[in-house]
Amino acid sequence: MSFRLRLKSAWPVAWIAAVIGTAQAGEVPSPIDNRALLPPIKPDTEVVMEGMSPDWMKSLIMVQFRVETATPEGTFAAATRVLDHLAETGVNGLWINPVFKRLPREVSPHFNGYGNEGPHTIAPELSGTEDPDASFAAAKAFVDAAHERNIRVLFDVITWGVAKQSPLGTEHEDWFLFDGAKREVWAGWAYNWNVPAMREWFINACVQFIELTGADGFRCDLEPHITGYEVFREVRKRLYEKGHKIIIMPEFVNSREGVYDFEQVGVGFEKALRRDAAPPIHESGSYYLENDIIQSIRSGRGVGMGELQEQGKGGTLRYHTFNFACHDTGGARVLGSRLRTGYQAILAPFIPIWYLGEEWNNPYDTAPDKNNVLYFNHIDWAKRDAPENRAFFEDVKRQIRIRRSYPEIFEHFPESQRDANIARVEAVGNDLPAYARFAGGRAVVVVPNKSAEARSFEVRVPLADLGLPNQLIPVTDLLAEKPVAARHENDRLIFQSEVPPDGISMYLLDAKAR
């Protein structure tokens, strides 16, 4: 019997708490394994479309990595080991940095994947072969391995152009912009998207890439600033006609237009962006440690496209992301904070995204590149099992386990995020608002503590706001293996919460248990 089914019985909350142990107190508990909680991947013929997006969007928890730095070997074959780690964590979405053929380092300074020969290629360094067909077969084998573990895969695709010395630059000079000579951008040549033949080639290359690899979609670098919406509208249309129910995530906030399902960073933008504007942020960071999360969700301030916010339409789209850190982030961001992970993203009404290693504090080695961003940082797997890192990792898995265990609560994404099932809960004297996520007679209350010291708060839950009956309801501390004494006063359920420093406490209110 699966964990999710067992949760419907009378004892499962204690079972959750039994594996939630003492990590926050400095001890390392028995490892948690969330892989049985990952929603099974169904064939596309059985996937239900909800509006423009496949239904599996609701369950996504995503991690980004670069194949070259995810393992010492830096290959697709070696990276299958990472999939086991992600499944254990409870992650079912993977965004992979560009895997296309690069130029030799001595030829191109952009030997980092974002400068490449185009989406019709696979880098032999990753596939282990110079043969193009065998290279795509290696990429497909990796995707198949991810699917076997119920993990969806998005590949990065580049629309600004190709690296210099790429054969496309000489074989199809008319496909590129000219300023007297081919326009240079980031040590490469810029595509001319007004050339019909070039657009058709690129669209077909994207379609063939999905067909050859079996991947679940794309992350689109710099989009929609480079091509707008029409190029990937056509990519999506052709793939759907072939039965591939993909998703597409652009780098920048956008108005969707029936093309993009969400965006790389959905929280933190407060200014309008022109189509050609540089992004003001690369990650959401600690936005909700400085801004009221409930007020932000209800008003749309700081959620989604700045231009829509200025029109009073911020946060009115269905899916938004909270991105802890990405390849462009200058150094680690989570830094062992249970507050930054659970409060802002894992238990909040967003799709969480972060860079591999942030879930256990992978060391930041100020990589040997002038940018010093996470893209160049190597994953040190030995450090995952250092006691402090392992304790933090287990706590992140606990937060994910709670999200996965109550899909009716945490996979609720209404058409407008302003209607999300989140309600303010009073934690007397708290610097941050406590909140509850709720559905069907149950609620999970999240109480934060921004302080460096453990704190105690009196929690007052407005029962009607959570759709709960106005009566005494059983409360269970999900981090302490015990019920919590509570009292009912007027329309409030009141109990005491002990919260660790820079952390959160979580409580199940279960009217069904009466």
Instruction: Name the residue among 39, 24, 97, 152 with its Cα closest to residue 478.
Output: 24
Residue 181, pLDDT score: 87
Contact 437, 409 (CB under 8 A): yes
Residue 455, pLDDT score: 97
Question: HSE (CB half, 13 Å, CA atoms) of 470?
Answer: 5
- Distance (Å, rounded) from C-alpha 506 to C-alpha 411? 17
> Taking the alpha carbons of 88, 90, 93, 95 in that order, is the dihedral positive or negative?
negative
- Distance (Å, rounded) from C-alpha 121 to C-alpha 215? 15
Return per-residue pLDDT of the chain as tens, 514 residues.
222 223 333 323 433 343 333 344 445 557 999 999 999 999 999 999 999 999 999 999 999 999 999 999 999 999 999 999 999 999 999 999 999 998 665 555 545 788 899 999 999 999 999 999 999 999 999 999 999 999 999 999 999 999 888 899 999 999 999 988 889 888 789 999 999 999 999 999 999 999 999 999 999 999 999 999 999 999 999 999 999 999 999 999 999 999 999 999 999 987 654 444 445 578 998 999 999 999 999 999 999 998 899 899 999 999 999 999 999 998 889 999 999 999 999 999 999 999 999 999 999 876 555 567 899 899 999 999 999 999 999 999 999 999 999 999 999 999 999 999 999 999 999 999 999 999 999 999 999 999 999 999 999 999 999 999 999 999 999 988 799 999 999 999 999 999 999 999 999 999 988 6
3-state secondary structure of 370: coil
Residue 24, pLDDT score: 44
Classify strands 93-96 and 62-65 as parallel, antiparallel or unpaired: parallel
> Taking the alpha carbons of 18, 24, 26, 28 in that order, is the dihedral positive or negative?
positive
Report residue 310: phi and psi, to 5°: -65, -25
Q: Which residues is 207 bridged to in the sheet?
A: none
Residue 103, pLDDT score: 66
Residue 260, pLDDT score: 98
pTM of the full predicted structure?
0.92
Q: Would you state the structure tokens that stand for residue 314, as one six-digit string?
A: 């911020």
Residue 330, pLDDT score: 87
Domains of the chain: 56-413 (3.20.20.80), 422-513 (2.60.40.1180)
The string of DSSP letters for 20-49 reads S-SGGGT---PPP--GGGSPPPPPGGGPPE
- Distance (Å, rounded) from C-alpha 277 to C-alpha 315? 21
3-state secondary structure of 54: strand
